[in-house]
Amino acid sequence: MGTVHHMTKRGKYARRLDPALWVYIDRVNEWYPPEIAELPIAEQRAVYDAMCRAFHQGHPSGVSADDGLVTTADHDIPVRHYQLAGKAPQAIVVYYHGGGFVLGGLDSHDDICAEICAATGFEVLSADYRLAPEHRHPAAFDDALAAFEWAAATSALPIVLCGESAGGTPAAAVAHATRRHPRRAAGQVLIYPDLGGDGTGRSYVEHAEAPLLSLGDIDFYRRIRSVPGQSPDDPTFSPLKDSDFSGLPPTFIITAECDPLSSDGEAYRDRIVAAGGSAWWQEEPRLVHSFLRARKSVPRAGEAFLDILSAIASVTMLGKNNQPS
């Protein structure tokens, strides 16, 4: 009976996903079970942070990390700055973490940022933007923009915007908002981002009940960060709802096939290309949302992470041609 129940619960994904990926999915669900959504936000965050510590892979050799603050008119934004010893950086990556706009911070994606730094040689600036529900839209966007402005003011290096999951929303929104900035981004890399698709896309329908992220989860996270009367057409809330996709930096979007958000990446690529820009969308077959945490345990996730690292370097080189001299 137990085996039958287990297979039924996995549904159409039982044989569609690799056994190694199921080990990862089960481990995540052991740490952070779906029913945790019923707990108070503080408890959800504590459990999520514990899970992140359990998955943490440490820092590669030569990477140093220093914490600091970006000061705004009414609050400070914690940031963490990563550098690789012995290598002159060719760019700075401004990184916005995932966590549904509710969870996460500088520690939750610390090892991923360190590995980006080590693999590319670029500096990485991770921004601890304000979270919902205490701080609703546009708080996360405002903090993301402030982190970009700080990087532009304090570094002469080309800036690459990088966002994972929920962090893909402010990353793209900042790219849109700063496209005419004197130090506009050289490129952006978005990792299974939520870009505000309307739910009619292929993946929203086919993968509405995918492991680790369902359509219900997405709706919850969008509602919890909305202010009363939130316009769905606000491009700082839903970048796909912008009316203008011209002038954006070279863009790479990587998504997971078994993720309701995957169609957002395809739609975003198409709109940038239609507006005359450069954008690439890569959908990873038989992977699920949050596969970055499986990069060391699931070979296909590891290969996808290598593609992300290559994309960060590639969009930077392409985007340098767009930088003011």
Catalytic (active-site) positions = 165, 259, 289
Paired with 284 in beta bridges are 256
Q: Output the six-digit token pair for 244.
A: 């203008």
- Alpha helix (H) residue ranges in the chain: 2-10, 19-31, 41-55, 110-120, 139-154, 168-177, 202-206, 215-224, 262-274, 299-319
Q: Output the six-digit token pair for 22.
A: 């199921």
276 phi-psi bin (left φ>0, alpha ψ -120 to 50, beta other) = left
Greatest alpha-carbon span in the chain: 68
Burial class of residue 79 (count of CB atoms within 10 Å of its CB; 0-12, 13-18, 19+)? buried
CB 256 within 8 A of CB 308: no
In Å, what is the CA distance from 19 to each residue of 13, 15, 24, 149? 11, 8, 9, 44
The helix, strand and coil proportions of the chain, stated in percent and rounded to the nearest 5, come to 45, 20, 40
**Cis before 133? omega within 30:** yes
Give the Cβ contact number of residue 75 at 10 Å: 14
Give the pairing of strands 187-191 and 159-164. Answer: parallel
Residue 218: CB partners within 8 Å, gap ≥ 6?
194, 260, 261
- What is the Cα gyration radius of the chain? 19
